[in-house]
Amino acid sequence: MRAVVQRVAEAQVGVDGKTVGSIPGGLLVFLCMMAGDTGDDEAWMANKLGLLRVFVDAGGKMNRSLQDLLTTPSPAGVLLISQFTLAAELGPGRSKGNRPSFRAAMSPEEAAAAIGRMALALQQRGFLVASGVFGRHMQVHSVNDGPVTLWLDSKATHG
Give the pLDDT of residue 90: 79
Alpha carbons within 13 angstroms on the beta-carbon side of residue 85 total 6
pTM of the model: 0.92
Annotation marks residue 85 as catalytic: yes
**Within 13 A of 146's CA, how many CA atoms are on the CB side?**
17
Active-site residue identified among 72, 85, 123, 157: 85
Residue 75 confidence (pLDDT) above 90:
no
84 is catalytic: yes
Say yes or no to pLDDT of 4 above 50.
yes
Catalytic residue among 12, 30, 55, 84: 84
pLDDT level of residue 159 (50, 70, 90 thresholds):
very low
- Angle at CA 64, nearest 5°, toward 60 and 69? 115
**Is 19 one of the annotated active-site residues of the chain?**
no
Per-residue pLDDT tens digits for 5-39: 999 999 999 999 999 999 999 999 999 999 999 99
Under a CB-based contact definition with an 8 Å cutoff, are residues 31 and 78 in contact? no
pLDDT digit string, tens, across residues 44-65: 999 999 999 999 999 999 999 9
What are the structural domains, with CATH classification, of the chain?
2-92+107-157 (3.50.80.10)
Radius of gyration, CA atoms only, the chain: 16
Contact 35, 104 (CB under 8 A): yes
